[in-house]
Amino acid sequence: MSDNIKNGIPPSRKAVDMSPGSYVIYNEKTYRISEIIDLSGVVAIDVETGRSKPLPINQLEPADSLEIDGRNAIDIDGIGDEEWKIANHRFAAIKPLLEIPCLTRGEVEKRGEEVGVSANTLYRWMRDFNSLGTIAALIPKKRGWTTGASRISKAVEEIIDEVINDTYLTVQRSTAEKVVIEVKRRCLKKGITPPHANTIRSRVARISERVKLRGRGHREKAINKFQPAAGQFPGADYPLAVVQIDHTPLDIIVVDDIHRKPIGRPWLSLAMDIFSRVVTGYYLSFDAPSGTSVAMTVSHSILPKENWLALHEIDADWDVWGIMDKIHVDNGPDFRSDNFKRSCEMYGINLEFRPVKRPKFGGHIERLLGTFLKEIHDLPGTTFSSVKERDGYDSDKHACMTMAELEKWLVTFICKVYHQRRHSGIGMSPMKKWEIGIMGNAETPGRGVPPRPANGNTIFMDFLPAFHRTVQNYGVAIDGLRYYADVLRPWINANEPGTPGKKRKFIFRRDPRRIKTIWFFDPEIKQYFPIPFANQALPEMSVWEYRSACEQIKKAGNEVNEHEILKAISELREQVEQSSAKTRKARRAQQRRAEHKKNITPANPIPDKPPTSTVSSELPMADDLFDGEVEAFEDIG
C-alpha cells in the first residue's frame, strides 16, 4: 500500500446525536445518554453494565456508523443533477413535517396526499434524513449492495415502519418487544421471512426523543421541550435558527512577526447567532472576502472549538457548535458561488440574501461588527473610524500587535468579555441566552443540544472550491499547474462508465491558501487523497501569489510554464526579502505568506508538520504587493 493510500480521508457527515436516549461511544464502550448536564457533559448509561456515568461531550463519538447505503461517502460535486433534483424534491416534501413539534399520522398522510407519496415513504425519508442530517441521505439508492447498507428487503422495511408508526408511536405506548412480535406476525402472514429481533430493536432505538414524545401521546411535553419561543428577528426563535455572516476590515494596523513594523489592516469575517447573539465563528486574514473566507467562517461556526482555544492558549469555554437552519448574508459575490449554495443545500441550510438596499435586514451582524471595532479603538495602532477621530494619532507609530497577538486578543474578547457581559437587546449575556435556548429553564423550553459534528475535515472540504478534471499520463492540471500521485494511476485516460470514448472527469478540491497539494476524491474507494505538485521543485504558494507570478511572466513577454513560475516566484520573494525591512508592502506580503503557511483550518487547528519543500521556505512571499487595498482579481468567490 502506497503512502497516498494510507493518507486517504473518507468523507463522513455523521454527527453525535446529543438527545436523551441516543447511543454514543466513549473509550470504545457504548452508552445511552440519559440526561444532559450542561453544554460540556452528559449522564449516560453503560449498555453492558447498566451503570450511570458522567461523560464529557467533547470526547463522545457516534455509535451508529451506518453510512446510509454509502450515500454519505460521496463528494457533493459527485451527485448528479438528476439525483440532486430528486434529493431536494424529497427534502422539500418532508421539510414542513420536520418543523412540526408534535407530528401526527394524520398530518403525515395529508402531506403525502399533497406531494403524491405514501405516509410510509415520508416516514422513511424523515428517518433517513434525521439519521444523517444532510440531503445526501435522500439521494436515490443505486443498484447493488454497498458496505454499510441494510440487507433487509424493502417489503420488510415497510412492515417495520408500519408497525413502529401504528403500534409504538401511539398513545397506547406499546413496548419495543410488542413491536418485535407484531413485525414477526405481519411478516409471517405475508409469507416473508421476519428479521432478527435485534434488527427491529435497533430501529426502535434510533427514534429520536422528540419523535417518541409526540408520537406516544406526550404532546404538551413535546411542545414545551422542543417548540422554540418567539424571537424578534423573523424566524430566529431558537439557537442556530438564523446565523448572519459579514466581513469588515479591522480598524487597526498590525505589525509583521520579523521586523515588528506596520503592514496594514486585516479582514475579519464574523458569524453570529441571531437568537442569542453569540459569535458562532470567525476568520481573520489579510485576504479580501472570498469563497475561502466564507468556507473558513462557516466551518468554524459548525465545528466544536476546544482545539481552537488550545491553539491560541486561551483558558475559556466556547461551547457553540452545530449546523444552522439558515445563513443570512448580503449580496456579495463571495456568497453567490454555486459551490457555496450546493454546500448549504447538502446540510439543509437555507441560504437567504438580504433585500437589496434594505440595510436594516443586516442590522444585527453590523452592530456586532461595530461593537468589535469600537473595542479595537482602545488597542495600540488603531486607525479609529475616521480621519477626524484619528487626528493627531500616528497609527503606524503606535502599532505593535502581530497577527497572532491580535487573534489571541480577539478570541479572548469573544469568550471572556462579549459572551459574558449583558447585551441590551436580549437583557442578558449572549452565552446565558444560548444556554437557555439550548437547555431551557423554568419558563423557556430548550431546543436540545445540537448534534455534534464527528468529522471536521469533511465539513471543511465540502465548502472548498471544486474542480472537475480528467486524469492524463502526467496527472491532472489545474490553472496550468500539474499534480500527480500514484493514487491517480488507475484513472489515467479513464472513460465514463457505459460511455466508451468519453473521458471521465474526477472531482478535485483546493484550499486557495496552499495550492501545492490538492485533494482527489476516488469514486471507488470513496476517500479523499492528497495530490502534490508533479514538479516537486515548486514551492508552497497561494493562488494569489501564483497569479501574481503569472502576471509578471506575461509582462516580461514570456510563456507561462512551471520553469518560469519557479523563476518568477523566486525573484519576487527575493525582492520582498531585500525590501522587507523598508517597505510596508513587502512586509505585508511576507506576513501574508507566513499566515498561509501555517495551514490552520477550523477542522485542523493543530495540523501535522508540512513536508519540507525543495525550495527554501525562508524565501519571502510576493503575493500581491499591495498597500491596504486588495486587487479585484483576488476575489475568488
| pLDDT band at 601; cut points 50, 70, 90 | confident
**Domains in the chain: boundaries:** 74-225, 243-453, 466-637
Cell reading at 548? 501574481
Alpha-carbon torsion angle 620, 622, 624, 627, nearest 10: 60
Whole-number Å distance between alpha carbons of 152 and 159 = 11
- How is residue 445 written as a grid cell? 423550553
- For the chain, state the CA radius of gyration: 27
Residue 289's φ and ψ, nearest 5 degrees, are -50, 130
Residue 436 neighbours by CB distance under 10 Å:
20
Contact 278, 434 (CB under 8 A): yes
Strand-pair category, 15-16 with 23-26: unpaired
Cell of 234: 423573523
| Residue 555: band (very low, low, confident or very high) from pLDDT cuts 50, 70, 90 | confident
Assigned C-alpha cell, 99: 418543523
Instruction: Examine the pLDDT at 157 and tell me if it is beyond 50.
Output: yes
Inform me whether the pLDDT recorded for 95 exceeds 70.
yes
User: What percent of the chain is modeled with pLDDT above 70?
Assistant: 80
Burial 50-79 (b: 16+ CB within 10 A, else e): eeeeebebeebebbbeebbbbbbbbbbbbb
Contact present, 539 and 565 (Cβ < 8 Å)? no
- Identify the band that residue 392 occupies on the pLDDT scale cut at 50, 70 and 90: low
pLDDT confidence of residue 210: 59
For 413-424, b/e burial (b = at least 16 CB within 10 A) is: bbbeebbeeebe
User: In 225-339, at which residue ranges do the beta strands (DSSP E only) sit?
Assistant: 243-249, 254-255, 262-264, 267-273, 279-285, 326-329
Of 42, 73, 28, 32, give the one whose Cα is nearest residue 449. 42
- β 326-329/243-249 pair status: parallel
- Three-state DSSP class for 93? helix
Q: Identify the residue with better confidence: 214 or 293.
A: 293
What is the arithmetic mean of pLDDT over 211-228? Answer: 57
Return the percentage of the chain with pLDDT > 90, whole number.
25
Q: What is the pLDDT of residues 21-42, one digit of tens each?
A: 888 899 988 898 998 998 899 9
> Is residue 390's pLDDT more than 70?
no
When mean pLDDT is compared across 66-70, 99-103, 331-335, the lowest value belongs to 66-70
- Closest by CA position to 217, among listed 164, 171, 173, 169: 171
- Indicate the pLDDT class of residue 65, thresholds 50, 70 and 90: very low
- Residue among 3, 1, 2, 70 at smallest CA distance from 611: 3
| SS3 state at 46 | strand
Residue 171 sits at φ, ψ, to 5 deg, of -70, -15
Nearest CA among 311, 335, 287 for reference residue 408: 311
Round to whole Å and give the CA distance between 167 and 176: 9
Dist. CA 65–CA 25, nearest whole Å: 11
Residue that is written with C-alpha cell 418532508 in the block: 94
Lookup: cell for 315: 483558558
Relative to beta strand 517-522, strand 243-249 is unpaired
Mean pLDDT score, 171-176: 76
pLDDT at 588: 65
- pLDDT 10s digits, 560-569: 887 888 888 7
Pairwise CA distance, residues 553 & 538, whole Å: 16
| Closest to 24 measured CA to CA, from 10, 12, 39, 34 | 34
Q: In which residue are the cell numbers 527575493 written?
A: 574
What pLDDT, on the 0 to 100 scale, is given for residue 455?
Answer: 82
At 60, the pLDDT band (50, 70, 90 cuts) reads very high
C-alpha separations of 71 from 16, 62, 84, 270 in Å: 18, 17, 12, 32
Largest CA distance in the chain: 90
The 10 Å Cβ neighbour count of residue 631 is 13
Terminal Cα-to-Cα distance of the chain (whole angstroms): 38
Crossing angle between the packed helical segments 105-115 and 81-98, to the nearest 10 degrees? 150
7-24 pLDDT tens trace? 678 887 888 888 888 888
Q: Where is pLDDT greater, at 220 or 202?
A: 202
- Using CA atoms, how far apart are residues 373 and 377, in angstroms rounded to an integer? 6
Least confident of 46-60, 121-135, 182-196: 121-135
C-alpha–C-alpha distance, residues 259 and 219, integer Å: 65
| 355-370 residue pLDDT tens | 654 544 557 888 898 8
Pick from 170, 151, 49, 47: which is nearest to 104 by CA?
170
Is residue 611 scored above 50 in pLDDT? no
Q: Tell whether the model's pLDDT for residue 302 goes beyond 50.
A: yes
* Residue entry with cell 479591522: 250
- Over range 244-254, report the average pLDDT: 91
pLDDT averaged over the chain?
80
Of 568, 597, 595, 583, the residue nearest 627 (C-alpha): 583
Of the pLDDT bands very low, low, confident and very high (cuts 50, 70, 90), residue 632 is: very low
DSSP class per residue in 537-563: TSPP--HHHHHHHHHHHHHTT----HH
Adjacent-strand bridge partners of 53: 44
Work out the number of other CB atoms within 10 angstroms of the CB of residue 365: 22
Which CATH topology does 243-453 take?
Nucleotidyltransferase; domain 5 (3.30.420)
| pLDDT of amino acid 539 | 87
Residue 532 has pLDDT above 90, yes or no: yes
